[in-house]
Amino acid sequence: MRALGRTVLARNRHARILGLGDRRSPSSETPAMVMIEGDPESFRPLCVFHFERDASKSPAHLSMKTLNTAYDVSDAPSIIQWEVDEGLHLPPSLNDADSGRSGGDSEFLLLSWQSLHHDSRLANSDLRPDIVVLVDAPQLSSSGADLIIAIRTLRERFPAALLWTPGLGGPDNAALLAWMGVDLFDSSRSRFAASHGHLLTMLGPRPFHESESEDRWMKEWTDVSHSIRSAIRSGTLRELVEMQVLNSASSVEHLRRFDALLRDDAAPLDRFVSPTRKFRFNAVTSRQDPLVHDWRRRVSEDYTPPAHSSRILLLLPCSERKPYRESQSHRRFARHIQSNGVDQVMVTSPLGLVPRALEDIWPAAHYDIPVTGDWDLDELEMIHSMVSQLVERVGYEMIIDHSGMNLQSRFPNLDVIDTRQGRTAGNPESLEYLESTINKLVSEFEIRAPKGHRHRIECYRSLSRFQYGTDAWLEDVRIEGRPPKWRLQKNGAQIAQWHPDAGRFAFSKSALPILHDTKTLPEIEIKSGIDWRGDIFSTILSTYPKGIRVGDDLLVMQDGNLIGSARATAPCWEWMGSPGRLARSHHRLG
């Protein structure tokens, strides 16, 4: 039995493009189609696999084979085939019962909601199937959160496998299913709709026009597959999903449940992204994205301002241009904020609050949202809640409100000064009042705020505490060089450089021992005896921490010794056994 060749070509959270075949030159990519009984022969060129079910036997006999080159070595046969028994799978309502008849085998694994609770094979950590099939996916689609839980469980339990939900996918929901981690699709829903005179499109079903051929549904599958792959590569699959789910109430429900399920520390979120990457919050559903909730939670619970600006909170409006400081409005604000003794925090939707020290990082520096100047009740409640949490935790003694949020009634026990008084933020009188208020309070509080590099290093400390949970590595660090890429020097050696366009510190090799001693970065351990030369793959890993995000800098350990660093290219759920690269090597010591 030849192994199915797989390698990860692109990622967007749970969605991936897997190259199938020779890893150096894949012959096909996911999302991929499975040819099933009843498909016309003209559909074959669009399919990567062929599936047959022989119901003349009990249990039914299943066969799955490749339709093109999908192997892992150049001299392997062109066809790989799996032959398994279907087993007995009880309906989802009987999940407490154990049928005792599992389906498939270790390479072609058949699972249901019921067998997810009872199949003893799942306890085997060495189980590495090529394909995993959720056989009762259509039944689960109407059972609340069960479908969402099942898909996430299988996706994260078997990161190297291709996941198929037979009978569930169509051009109208393929982007959503791919977003959740499904790799393989079939034509059953499209053909059923066509037999009733309707065409499933990316934007939902519609009646066939008399000028359209009956096999038009095949073109819809081709178009949606290309659209999904393009969106995964550009990091915009979420936008495609939000556009697509509006065609169906059940799809909206599934997206909401999936978002709710991922509001935990194990969500596969990016830490850093390309400077050109944008997150467009164009729909109300964008507010439910786990990325938004993660930002709100971390700012509310983890952000701490520089010590010299921890007594006065200054709330400012956001701007269309990111980072905010480069906008005309914030340049005007800067001319009237003559002291660093206030903590500048921008008020925005959907992120809520963006402290000035964090404005260069993802997603604060990369989001777009339609600007109308109006706030709905949900947005107001979210911002009020975040401000309340931040004020209580940090202990600000005064709030200067230049955001126009009207916060006096929200904080009756805390002095809030509205510097706009019903005027626009850029009104000359508003700006003069803002300037005089800041100067007065800084003088009354006797705040001695540092300037220049001393203030900048304190902002870097605040950013480091937010990103890494510590600022110990910045002890006795000096800032040198020219803006905006300031160099951080320690004991005469450069240990890092700030890259505002990427929103991150670029650490030098000489920084690694310091980062290790101060426990700043996560550490991964590779197997003893491995001569580490290339990148990080699951085959050489011994241990790794939970919660790794794409873009994280990692310290590489071996036998307890620091041997280098790497940068994560895969989220934590893939580290259990992804067929692709998990981290790109960066520095090597020794």
Domains in the chain with CATH codes? 6-261 (no CATH), 279-444 (3.40.50.10630), 521-590 (2.30.130.10)
Q: What pLDDT, on a 0 to 100 scale, did the predictor assign at position 125?
A: 87
Q: Which amino acid is at 506?
A: A
pLDDT on residue 93: 72
- Secondary structure (DSSP) of 260-284: HHT-STT---BS---TT--EE--SG
Q: Return the pLDDT at 394.
A: 96
C-alpha angle 412-313-500 in degrees, rounded to nearest 5: 150
Helices (H), 44-118: 113-118
Question: Nearest CA to 144 among 28, 307, 57, 260?
Answer: 260
Q: Please answer whether residues 303 and 462 qualify as being in contact, where contact means their C-beta atoms are separated by less than 8 angstroms.
A: yes
Instruction: Tell me if residue 235 falls in helix, strand or coil.
Output: coil
Contact assessment for residue 562 and residue 512, using Cβ atoms and an 8 Å cutoff: yes
The encoded tokens of residue 270 equal: 């990016």
pLDDT of 100:
63
**Sequence-ordered list of residues with C-beta below 8 angstroms from that of 276, at least 6 positions apart, any chain:** none
Q: Which of 181, 226, 195 is nearest to 14 (CA)?
A: 181
What's the pLDDT at 437?
97
Record the pTM. 0.92
- For residues 553 and 521, the answer to whether their CB atoms sit within 8 Å is yes
Residues 583 and 537: beta-carbon distance below 8 Å? no
User: What is the dihedral sign for C-alpha 283, 285, 290, 294?
Assistant: positive
- pLDDT averaged over 10-residue windows placed end to end, the chain, 590 residues: 84 96 88 96 94 90 82 58 88 71 89 88 91 95 91 96 97 98 98 94 92 91 97 95 93 95 86 89 88 96 96 95 94 96 95 97 91 82 94 95 85 87 94 97 95 95 97 96 93 95 95 98 96 94 94 97 97 94 94
Residue 143 pLDDT: 83
363 cis-preceded (ω within 30 degrees of 0)? yes
Nearest one of 147, 138, 145, 389 to 260, comparing CA atoms: 145
